[in-house]
Each structure stands twice: as C-alpha cells, then as structure tokens.
C-alpha cells in the first residue's frame, strides 16, 4: 500500500513519530510516497528528519502558533488572527496538497496533526483513506483528566481536534498508557511511536541533566540555574537559528543545536530530563527510565494537558516555571515505570499495522 504523510512542523515530536511510522510501514512492505510538512517561520526541519525519512519532502505554508517576543508563551488570539491573515497562502498550500495526492495516488493519508490536512480532506474528499494520529486526540477520551478551569482553552483544543480530523476514517490517540477504545467516535488508543534507535540504546546513569527547549527563550532560566548551581552538569538542546552547532559555556553547561542521535545518546546517559511537556520526548525518557520535569509553555493548553497525563502515568513531575532545581529535589523519590511502559510501547508495530490495514 502507498502512504502519504502530512505533518505539523511545530516542534520535533510529530516528525519523530512519522519517522517511526515509516520504519514500521516499510518493514511490512509498504511505500511512503511523499511527505508534506506544514512549515513554521520559527522552526527549521531538523536535519535528522531530512536524512532519514527516505522520500521526497514538500514544505508548505500552514497555520502555526504565535508566541510572545521572548518566544516563551503562546498567544491564542494572535494565532487565530495570523491564520486568518494568511488565508490566501494556505489556499495555495491546499491546492498543492491536492496536486501531490493526484500525482501519487496514495491508498492512505496519515495526518500527524496538521490543520491543513483536515481542511484538505474535508474540502477535496480524496479517494484515499484519511487517518489522523496524535497524542492531542486523547483529550476526547472520557477518562482523560484536564487541567482545572481554563474552559475556553479546553474548548479551543477540542475544536482544533475536530478541524485536524475532519472526515477521518480513524482517529489514533497516542497515549502514555492503555485506555479502552471509543469506537463509536472512531477513536482508538494506541502506544507511542518510538523509533528503533531509542529502543536499542544502552542505558546508563550519568552525572548530567538533559534539557530540551521548545522555545529558545528558556535559556535565560537555564543560565540562572547554572549560576546558582554551577556544579550541576547540563546538556541543553535548542533550535536557535543564530547559535553555533555546539556552544560550550563552560565545563558544566553546553548548548547543542537539535541533533537526533546526540540528543537520545545524552538522554540515555542522563540522570534526569527537563522539557517543555511535549509528548514524544517524555515517552523516550519513560522508555529509558529517566525522571522528567515538564514545564508546559505558558498559554499552551495542550502541553498543560500533556503534563498532567504524563505525571499520572508515572513520568515525573511538572511545574509552571522552568525551575530545574525541582527535578534535583525530586530525583530521590522517583519510581521507575520503564518496565510497564516498555511493555505498552513495544506493542506499537503490531497495533499500527492492524489499525492502518
């Protein structure tokens, strides 16, 4: 069978999920005929994705989150205004997606949470089956626990889910732990998509903390922590465009441009992980038995949901502020859930081949 991927370009998680999916499908004899990425003005497509996806990539203009000047918090109203003002270029993107579908004639389109994918499926009604996949869809499950209050944010994310999955034949909700399917809503709970490179890593207990910054603005907090705790060793990954490949501040603080292999190697040898509450890398940390401090991006309700869900599954703790010392204090009381998590995650190839057949 032939598969076309449509991937949201915000952050690294959707791309690593797509890489893992491509491994599963190709090993089963299927073809990835093309990849469309909804590009972001603030993000570059990581080189590891370009090198490993193994098929043609097309970057198209797609709505993405607007942040404040410090690149920390998400601005929902500005995000909506930005999307409306850019409607003409998004129409061009929809037409281009349709041309790609007409050219390659895929059997199945998998949408990794890109808004254009859902709108395209609704407007153009392609012959291909349309399957949507993301952790965000788990909020539609009746057993999901939400952050208190913030009803408007909750409604906005639910509306976003509806747009992304317009006309979907199946909706696959990636989850830290198993839940029952809700088949009447076409909602199926599935394991996380971890790449084989992560599952084959040799795990060790090193002396450093690993830090992943979705937004480079958090380097201020990292620098402040380093001044307060200069003996704590930090390896930090970001995608700051004007920074060198490796920025060595001193023997205990290093910033790296996002590099897939280096990142997971540093995770496997770390003593703990600090991240802005994305789904994918928290799953990697759980698989490797690394305690996590999650710091949801301000105004990013989806990440607030992720943090609650991951804590419930035993990943670690979360905080409203990028206070790395909280992880230092938490480490002695962390309970390792890697064995049960691996049992769930290792089911992924069989589950996805069944869901996508």
Residues 6+ apart with CB under 8 A from 68: 75
Tens digit of each residue's pLDDT (9 = 90 or more) over 89-141: 888 999 999 999 999 999 999 999 998 999 999 999 999 999 999 999 999 99
Global confidence as pTM? 0.86
What was the pLDDT predicted at 216? 78
What was the pLDDT predicted at 73? 45
Tens digit of each residue's pLDDT (9 = 90 or more) over 276-290: 888 999 999 999 999
Strand residues in the chain grouped as ranges (E): 2-8, 31-39, 57-61, 108-112, 129-134, 170-174, 187-190, 208-212, 233-238, 246-250, 253-257, 272-275, 292-294, 316-318
What was the pLDDT predicted at 71? 47
The angle formed by the CA atoms of residues 228, 230 and 236, to the nearest 5 degrees, is 100
The answer to whether 307 and 245 have CB atoms below 8 angstroms apart is no
Within the chain, which residues score under 70 in pLDDT?
A: 11, 40-43, 64-86
What was the pLDDT predicted at 196? 87
DSSP per-residue codes, 162-204:
HHHTTT-SEEEEE-SS----BGGGTEEEE-----HHHHTPPP-
Q: In what order do the strands lie in the sheet with 187-190?
A: 57-61, 31-39, 2-8, 108-112, 129-134, 170-174, 187-190
Q: Residue 140 in 3-state DSSP?
A: helix
Q: Measuring CA to CA, which residue among 26, 41, 90 is closest to residue 239?
A: 41
Q: Measuring CA to CA, which residue among 275, 251, 250 is closest to residue 263?
A: 275
């Amino acid at each position: 069978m032939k598969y076309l991927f449509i991937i949201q370009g915000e952050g690294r998680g959707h791309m690593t999920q797509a890489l893992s999916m491509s491994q599963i499908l190709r090993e089963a004899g299927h073809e990835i005929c093309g990849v469309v990425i909804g590009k972001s003005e603030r993000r570059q497509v990581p080189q590891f994705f370009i090198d490993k996806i193994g098929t043609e990539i097309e970057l198209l203009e797609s709505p993405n989150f607007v942040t404040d000047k410090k690149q920390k918090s998400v601005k929902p109203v500005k995000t909506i205004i930005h999307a409306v003002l850019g409607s003409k270029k998004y129409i061009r993107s929809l037409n281009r997606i349709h041309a790609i579908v007409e050219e390659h004639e895929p059997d199945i389109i998998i949408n990794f949470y890109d808004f254009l994918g859902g709108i395209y499926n609704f407007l153009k009604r392609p012959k291909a089956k349309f399957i949507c996949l993301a952790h965000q869809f788990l909020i539609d499950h009746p057993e999901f626990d939400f952050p208190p209050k913030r009803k408007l944010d909750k409604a906005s994310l639910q509306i976003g889910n509806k747009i992304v999955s317009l006309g979907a034949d199946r909706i696959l909700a990636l989850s830290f732990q198993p839940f029952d399917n809700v088949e009447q809503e076409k909602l199926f709970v599935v394991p996380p998509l971890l790449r084989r490179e992560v599952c084959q890593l040799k795990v060790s207990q090193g002396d450093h903390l690993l830090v992943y910054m979705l937004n480079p603005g958090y380097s201020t907090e990292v620098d402040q922590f380093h001044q307060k705790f200069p003996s704590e060793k930090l390896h930090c990954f970001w995608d700051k465009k004007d920074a060198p490949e490796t920025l060595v501040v001193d023997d205990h603080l290093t910033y790296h441009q996002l590099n897939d292999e280096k990142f997971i190697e540093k995770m496997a040898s770390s003593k703990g992980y600090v991240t802005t509450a994305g789904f994918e890398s928290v799953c990697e940390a759980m698989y490797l038995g690394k305690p996590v401090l999650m710091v949801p991006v301000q105004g990013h309700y989806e990440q607030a949901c992720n943090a609650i869900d991951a804590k419930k599954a035993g990943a670690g703790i979360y905080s409203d502020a990028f206070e790395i010392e909280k992880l230092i204090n938490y480490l002695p009381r962390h309970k390792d859930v890697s064995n049960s998590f691996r049992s769930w995650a290792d089911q992924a190839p069989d589950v996805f081949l069944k869901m996508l057949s």
